[in-house]
Structure 1
Amino acid sequence: MGFGQANTSILSQLAAAGSVKRVFAHCLDNVNGGGIFAVGEVESPVVKTTPLVPNQVHYNVILKGIDVDGDPVDLPPSIASFGGNGGTIIDSGTTLAYLPANLYNSLLKKITTRQPVKLHMVQETFACFSFTLNTDKAFPVVNLHFEDNLKMSVYPHDYLFSLRKDLYCFGWQSGGLTNQDGSDVILLGDLVLSNKLVVYDLDNEVVGWAEHNCSSSIKVKDGSGAVFSVEANNLIASSSSSSSSLLLHFHISWRRSRGKQTCKEWTTSAYL
């Protein structure tokens, strides 16, 4: 999509032209499908943020802890201490969430202790189980805690997906991802980012999120100061705008299928 941190990215080029600030946001709806992608400063809802680790290619943040309904899960030392290149990556281009093997095993053990199920592997990748009850009521919430007291709550309907009727699988994956120095890496994809407004503010070197109805709307300010209401399907100016303003808005249509979100459609609108 060209929304990385490099100076050659679409976002950096728009910012260099004075069209927008280096801020963009997305909101992915895994309940109804669809969502919002907007470039510009988010006016509402208010989003709390955590610092981005500087001088990184990806959107790296510092994960301070994980708990399952308040019961802490031990983090690998290389994650907890965060070296120069390790830590946690936020990546909306990744579908699931990849954890170091020991963290993956500890997390699933905590979850299945609260709701016992008989796990079996499907496609040699997914830990799955048969279940006929309401998963949101039966399974615990997983909370991720980041620097500056920013919390991300991941609900059962986020981290579980259904392969077929009464067969559910965990979206948490044992990734075994490491850096060149051998330190562990956590990769957080759409599994944890869905049903949240996620804001990337490269000017202030922060990223943040807030739980949000991604089928509703957000308010975004463009480079001229004009504020727009960005809905899941269209764009409406809510204050005066000028011919020099630009707001880039993507309507996202996607679905979850066998553990994968598939992009079905992208449409763009540019106001110049």
Structure 2
Amino acid sequence: MAPPPPPPRRAALLLAGLLLLLALAGSAFPGATATGVFQVRRKFPVGVGGGAAGANISALRAHDGTRHGRLLAAADLPLGGLGLPTDTGLYYTEVKLGTPPKRYYVQVDTGSDILWVNCITCEQCPRKSGLGLDLTLYDPKASSTGSTVMCDQGFCAATFGGRLPKCSANVPCEYSVTYGDGSSTVGSFVNDALQFDQVTGDGQTQPANASVIFGCGAQQGGDLGSSSQALDGILGFGEANTSMLSQLATAGKVKKIFAHCLDTVKGGGIFAIGDVVQPKVKTTPLVADKPHYNVNLKTIDVGGTTLELPTDIFKPDDKKGTIIDSGTTLTYLPELVFKKVMLAVFNKHQDITFHDVQDFLCFQYPGSVDDGFPTITFHFEDDLALHVYPHEYFFPNGNDVYCVGFQNGALQSKDGKDIVLMGDLVLSNKLVVYDLENRVIGWTDYNCSSSIKIKDDKTGTTSTVNSHDLSSGSKFHWHMSLVLLVTMHSDISQE
């Protein structure tokens, strides 16, 4: 089943939607499970102008075996950056790959399902980044634990739905990912050691290792090859079996639960893998058989008044529904919903003059937007509410100018025009928990510069995971200028 096409406007490379079935036979890494921590920072947004059949059964059996016997711990992924369109735009983290381990900076992407890094064979890949980061090309031959995944292996067959044509011994399993703005990555899958930080106590971690399959990118196109915004690769945090999270869970290393808390006040925040026990969050079910984090949106209130909308406007199907995606900066609404929301928001400010700034609806307002505008509340299945305050759906652009963080989906994409896509601005300053074990997602308003408690299934104890702002110590300075955020949709195929 193909993923629903998202709107084309977005904070680069996150809604990648890869429907990949993965047989992880041979990739299980025995031993006690752990929680992991990765250094996460924020990337600048895109600027404007200036063995096939039996492999699945084997994987299921291996998966069941590890689930029954595992004792799971937690992982901490320190965050950096500021989730505003006028600032950074995407989160990134440090991962260590290979033996001996080398550091790579990868974008954290909750909407895609593979980890890939630039490969030593890539001639056009950036060697420097305008983000002030030293980039590294991955060399499988320089790692004593690295190996190439061949096209006749179970992983490759499961990823592409069967044995590939013209596949023969010693032919690598290739991939090709193309994004909606024309950016792309092509390369081959490899298997190597991943080092991550296991939570061992309050604010304490220790290195842990696992074997994972990821992409070795040989050719990058579009913005992925731009030295001004370059990273070493992308870390997909989707729920397909190809994702790093799924591989670590299958290997008995972590629970398939992660959480983030994005701090737009001080920057940075919290990103962790594991069972969050404090604060408690109320949850709503994830819609079954969807490639993204889809939920059932029921109604929308503006200032306490429920909008009158068609009863089926949020019904989840191939071209409708609601997606929660921390990788998207803005929020996209179907045209009718967008117009109803805007009319209600500005109902008491009909004298405001609007102007267009690089396709954003902006206006001047000298006072506090929180005092002058209403709270918007999204109501989901099982009585879960998402309160979005004026400072979260507006963003400042200097000199008392504010711009609207909601976008009319009909102007962004023909195929995605009826989808609700909820991004960073409405998810910020909230702890959001993705519990894929129980197929639910939940959130609560939270101070993202504080800490959370995660349970260690090995000992039954809880540990504190603190907030981080890695970007505060980075080498570069962010320029506060309004940019056009481009939504990307990716497709994966055999090259």
Return the TM-score normalized by structure 2. Answer: 0.46
Judged with a 3 Å threshold, the aligned counterparts in structure 2 of structure 1 residues 115 and 171 are, in CA distance, closer, same or farther, namely same
Judged with a 3 Å threshold, the aligned counterparts in structure 2 of structure 1 residues 78 and 160 are, in CA distance, closer, same or farther, namely same
Aligned equivalents of 1:36 and 1:128: distance in 2? 30
Judged with a 3 Å threshold, the aligned counterparts in structure 2 of structure 1 residues 72 and 31 are, in CA distance, closer, same or farther, namely same
**What does 1:223-238 correspond to in 2, within 5 Å?**
223-224=457-458, 225-233=460-468
1:39 counterpart = 2:273: yes
Larger radius of gyration: 2
Give the aligned residue type for 1:228: S
Aligned equivalents of 2:324 and 2:358: distance in 1? 25
Judged with a 3 Å threshold, the aligned counterparts in structure 2 of structure 1 residues 90 and 39 are, in CA distance, closer, same or farther, namely same
Alignment partner, residue 314 of structure 2: 80
Aligned equivalents of 1:117 and 1:19: distance in 2? 57
Question: How far has the Cα of 1:81 moved from its partner?
Answer: 3.3
Judged with a 3 Å threshold, the aligned counterparts in structure 2 of structure 1 residues 179 and 54 are, in CA distance, closer, same or farther, namely farther
Question: How far has the Cα of 1:189 moved from its partner?
Answer: 0.1
Alignment partner, residue 372 of structure 2: 138
Q: Deviations over 1:120-161 (max 9, x none)?
A: 232342111111111111110000000000000000110111
Aligned to 2:346, the other structure's residue is in SS state: helix
Question: Is residue 259–residue 272 contact of structure 2 (8 Å, CA) maintained in 1?
Answer: yes
Give the structure with the higher percent strand: 1
Judged with a 3 Å threshold, the aligned counterparts in structure 2 of structure 1 residues 175 and 257 are, in CA distance, closer, same or farther, namely farther
Judged with a 3 Å threshold, the aligned counterparts in structure 2 of structure 1 residues 216 and 81 are, in CA distance, closer, same or farther, namely same
Judged with a 3 Å threshold, the aligned counterparts in structure 2 of structure 1 residues 260 and 117 are, in CA distance, closer, same or farther, namely farther
Aligned equivalents of 2:286 and 2:483: distance in 1? 27
Question: How far has the Cα of 1:40 moved from its partner?
Answer: 0.2
Judged with a 3 Å threshold, the aligned counterparts in structure 2 of structure 1 residues 231 and 139 are, in CA distance, closer, same or farther, namely same
Question: Is residue 23–residue 199 contact of structure 1 (8 Å, CA) maintained in 2?
Answer: yes
Question: How far has the Cα of 1:114 moved from its partner?
Answer: 3.0
Alignment partner, residue 147 of structure 1: 381
Question: Is residue 78–residue 184 contact of structure 1 (8 Å, CA) maintained in 2?
Answer: no
Alignment partner, residue 189 of structure 1: 423
Aligned equivalents of 2:265 and 2:349: distance in 1? 23
Alignment partner, residue 214 of structure 1: 448
Aligned equivalents of 2:252 and 2:273: distance in 1? 13
The size of the alignment, in residue pairs, is 244
Alignment partner, residue 50 of structure 1: 284
Q: Tell me which of 4, 14, 17 is aligned to 2:251.
A: 17
Q: Deviations over 1:57-98 (max 9, x none)?
A: 100001000011111123355433333552100000000000
Question: Is residue 96–residue 189 contact of structure 1 (8 Å, CA) maintained in 2?
Answer: yes
Aligned equivalents of 2:441 and 2:483: distance in 1? 24
Aligned equivalents of 1:64 and 1:95: distance in 2? 22
Question: How far has the Cα of 1:3 moved from its partner?
Answer: 1.1
Aligned equivalents of 2:417 and 2:436: distance in 1? 25
Judged with a 3 Å threshold, the aligned counterparts in structure 2 of structure 1 residues 259 and 95 are, in CA distance, closer, same or farther, namely farther
Judged with a 3 Å threshold, the aligned counterparts in structure 2 of structure 1 residues 175 and 48 are, in CA distance, closer, same or farther, namely same
Question: Is residue 314–residue 322 contact of structure 2 (8 Å, CA) maintained in 1?
Answer: no
Question: Is residue 35–residue 252 contact of structure 1 (8 Å, CA) maintained in 2?
Answer: no
Aligned equivalents of 2:317 and 2:422: distance in 1? 18
Aligned equivalents of 1:17 and 1:178: distance in 2? 39
Aligned equivalents of 2:483 and 2:456: distance in 1? 33
Q: Percent of pairs identical after alignment?
A: 50
Judged with a 3 Å threshold, the aligned counterparts in structure 2 of structure 1 residues 13 and 223 are, in CA distance, closer, same or farther, namely farther
Aligned to 1:164, the other structure's residue is in SS state: coil
Aligned to 2:260, the other structure's residue is in SS state: strand
Judged with a 3 Å threshold, the aligned counterparts in structure 2 of structure 1 residues 136 and 211 are, in CA distance, closer, same or farther, namely same
Question: How far has the Cα of 1:183 moved from its partner?
Answer: 7.5
Aligned equivalents of 1:40 and 1:213: distance in 2? 19
Aligned to 1:136, the other structure's residue is in SS state: helix
Q: Deviations over 1:216-259 (max 9, x none)?
A: 000012442442100113xxxxxxxxxxxxxxxxx664989556
Aligned equivalents of 1:259 and 1:57: distance in 2? 31
Aligned equivalents of 1:163 and 1:125: distance in 2? 14
Judged with a 3 Å threshold, the aligned counterparts in structure 2 of structure 1 residues 130 and 154 are, in CA distance, closer, same or farther, namely same
Aligned equivalents of 2:253 and 2:358: distance in 1? 48
Aligned equivalents of 2:484 and 2:304: distance in 1? 29
Alignment partner, residue 242 of structure 1: none
Aligned to 2:370, the other structure's residue is in SS state: helix
Aligned equivalents of 2:447 and 2:457: distance in 1? 26
1:29 counterpart = 2:263: yes
Return the TM-score normalized by structure 1. Answer: 0.82
1:110 counterpart = 2:352: no
Aligned equivalents of 2:254 and 2:484: distance in 1? 29
Aligned equivalents of 2:318 and 2:329: distance in 1? 26
Question: How far has the Cα of 1:101 moved from its partner?
Answer: 1.3
1:69 counterpart = 2:340: no
* Bigger shift: residues 76-85 or 121-130: 76-85
Judged with a 3 Å threshold, the aligned counterparts in structure 2 of structure 1 residues 128 and 198 are, in CA distance, closer, same or farther, namely same
Q: Tell me which of 394, 398, 403 is aligned to 1:160.
A: 394
Aligned equivalents of 2:471 and 2:338: distance in 1? 30
Aligned equivalents of 1:45 and 1:253: distance in 2? 25
Give the aligned residue type for 1:23: I
Aligned equivalents of 2:264 and 2:351: distance in 1? 24
Give the aligned residue type for 1:229: T
Alignment partner, residue 171 of structure 1: 405
